[in-house]
Amino acid sequence: MTSASPAPDDRARAQQIAHELPSLGVHGVALTYVDTAGITRVKAVPVSALGSAVRWGVGMSPVFDLFLADDSIVGTDKQGGPDGDLRLYPDLDQLTVLAAQPGWAWAPVDRLTQEGVPHVNCSRSLLRRVVDEAAGRGLSIRAAVEIEFVLDRGDGPSFEPACSGPAYGMTRLVEQSEFCAEVLAAMAAQGVDVDQVHPEYAPGQFEISVGATDPVAAADRSVLVRQTLRALARKYGLRISFSPSVLAGGVGNGGHVHLSLWRGGANLHGTGDRRYGMTPDAEAFAAGILEALPALAAVNTPSPASFLRLQPSHWAGVYACWGHETREAALRVVTGTTGVRERASNLEVKCVDLAANPYLVFAGLLSAGLDGVDRGLELPEEVTGDPSRFSASELASRGITPLPTTMDASLAAFTADAKRWGDLLADAIVAVRRGEEARMEGRSPDEVAEAYRWVY
Ligand code: GLU
Ligand code: MG
């Protein structure tokens, strides 16, 4: 929903849901959105107030657009003061009874002004507009976010991995057997189809990947899955980190994004005659994304901790290049197994992490991809193997650039492309990134990793 005056059937639906929730033991509904710094912020209402929330929204200040990850505020000459109010409107289509938080349901919100139009900095409304633009071209998108996370024993002052078994090792799955099984049960109860859950590479690290859906719902899912994992970790006395870099120098947590472009029921990545089955539109979509990756770094890898993760040879996709099933390229063309390629082929954007606001991530990637389609772009030569083996001059002659790994470089590329976001949102993004950078000034990589370890 995007209107301040929901259709009468939405109001009736809210009343119906509010009537049913208590019999499911639900007392409150958590209404969330993700801010510019990547933090999920919440207002919660009793079930009895859901009807009012659907009709009139729930108040929340726009100042959160200028909040940093430590809750300090960076006002600019345009925004960030104490004035004004916004209304949070829950999306009933996504309302979910939370399996890991007894007594609670959850719904993501759109942020509207008191006059009933989407707030210009509402990332969820922005993403919906981009999805609508795609629909205007007869295109739809299927999307998913992979969630990597690290479990900590939760009983010490410093990081202690909650398992000791090897990467991808069955030992780890045994060590966290109850937790992982309950994750699967909770996702099933919440209607989230899980593709895989498995131990990952870094100490204490696991990953869950979920099925693809439309981009707004995929961003919502990214929030829901993380809060579910967090609640279950707490139940098991564990701490959980989605931070891009839990330990400086190690392999980090990625938030890889999967995207495929569809027209009239056909997956354009698996039904064409270009490389790896791409249609011209799928290739142009990929090329548009590839071209924009440096400018999108301030959105996709927004935190000082993001730069600790973005190391070559760490499977984080530091190089703005593409390859077929290549885990060191920022853009990986995934074709999968013969037999499912027509429907399953997709693009994986590997550089993205979970400090990013997923609505902004999808809005940026999709708008860049659609721009590529409009311009009929073609992909350059593909890369195989690890690009870090190339010298600087070889990288340059192949047209491969490393993604920005400093805030200055990231914001320079972002600013050159800021019109994609509109003045106020670009202003908020720059101010928040500069604010985080200033907070971390003079800190060592270990201190930066520690500062953000339990924040995301
Ligand atoms: N953990 C790696 C990252 O930081 C990714 C590992 C993988 O390819 O799954 O993105
Ligand atoms: Mg992974």
CB distance 316 to ligand 1 below 6 Å: yes
Which numbered atom of ligand 1 lies nearest the CA of 148? Answer: 1
Task: Specify the pLDDT at position 50.
Answer: 97
| Residue of 251, 308, 354 best suited for mutating to test ligand 1, as the one with most atoms within 8 Å of CB | 251
Per-residue pLDDT of the chain (456 residues; tens, 9 = 90+): 344 456 667 889 999 999 999 999 999 999 999 999 999 999 999 999 999 999 999 999 999 999 999 999 999 999 999 999 999 999 999 999 999 999 999 999 999 999 999 999 999 999 999 999 999 999 999 999 999 999 999 988 899 999 999 999 999 999 999 999 999 999 999 999 999 999 999 999 999 999 999 999 999 999 999 999 999 999 999 999 999 999 999 999 999 999 999 999 999 999 999 999 999 999 999 999 999 999 999 999 999 999 999 999 999 999 999 999 999 999 999 998 888 999 999 999 999 999 999 999 999 999 999 999 999 999 999 999 999 999 999 999 998 999 999 999 999 999 999 999 999 999 999 999 999 999 999 999 999 999 999 999
* Minimum CA distance residue for ligand 1 atom 5: 315
CB distance 55 to ligand 1 below 6 Å: no
Task: Specify the pLDDT at position 427.
Answer: 98
Which numbered atom of ligand 1 lies nearest the CA of 202? Answer: 1
Q: Which superfamily does 130-453 belong to?
A: Glutamine synthetase/guanido kinase, catalytic domain (3.30.590.10)
CB distance 295 to ligand 1 below 6 Å: no
CB distance 433 to ligand 1 below 6 Å: no
DSSP 126: H
End-to-end CA distance of the chain: 27
Q: How far is the CA of 381 from the centre of ligand 2 (A)?
A: 25
Q: How far is the CA of 253 from the centre of ligand 2 (A)?
A: 8
Tokens of 219: 């961003």
Q: Give the residue from 413, 300, 306, 307 showing the smallest Cα distance to 357.
A: 300
Q: Give the residue from 163, 93, 80 showing the smallest Cα distance to 124.
A: 93
CA distance to 243, 259, 282, 391, per residue, from 347 (Å): 23, 5, 9, 27
Cα separation, 19 vs 29, whole angstroms: 13
CA distance to 142, 211, 283, 346, 434, per residue, from 270 (Å): 13, 18, 11, 8, 41
Cα separation, 315 vs 374, whole angstroms: 31
* Minimum CA distance residue for ligand 1 atom 8: 315
Q: How far is the CA of 15 from the centre of ligand 2 (A)?
A: 41
CB distance 305 to ligand 1 below 6 Å: no
CB distance 199 to ligand 1 below 6 Å: no
Backbone φ and ψ of 351, nearest 5°: -70, -20
CB distance 327 to ligand 1 below 6 Å: yes
Q: How far is the CA of 297 from the centre of ligand 2 (A)?
A: 20
Cα separation, 18 vs 27, whole angstroms: 9
Beta bridge partners of 196: 209
Domains 8-119 and 130-453 in one fold: no
CB distance 371 to ligand 1 below 6 Å: no
The residue type at 109: V
| Residue of 145, 149, 197, 200 best suited for mutating to test ligand 1, as the one with most atoms within 8 Å of CB | 200
Strands (E), 275-431: 319-324, 329-334, 346-349, 401-402
Buried b (16+ CB within 10 A) or exposed e, 100-120: bbeebbbbbbbbbbeeeebbb
Task: Specify the pLDDT at position 3.
Answer: 46
What is the sign, positive or negative, of the torsion defined by CA atoms of 96, 97, 100, 103? positive
- Residue ranges of alpha helices (H) inside 190-324 are 215-235, 280-300, 304-309
CB 142 within 8 A of CB 125: no
Task: Specify the pLDDT at position 5.
Answer: 58
The residue type at 71: D
Task: Specify the pLDDT at position 8.
Answer: 66
CB 301 within 8 A of CB 308: no
Q: What topology is assigned to 8-119 in CATH?
A: Ubiquitin-like (UB roll) (3.10.20)
CB distance 332 to ligand 1 below 6 Å: no
Please tell me the number of the ligand nearest to residue 146's CA. Answer: 2
Q: How far is the CA of 327 from the centre of ligand 1 (A)?
A: 8
- Domain ranges in the chain are 8-119, 130-453
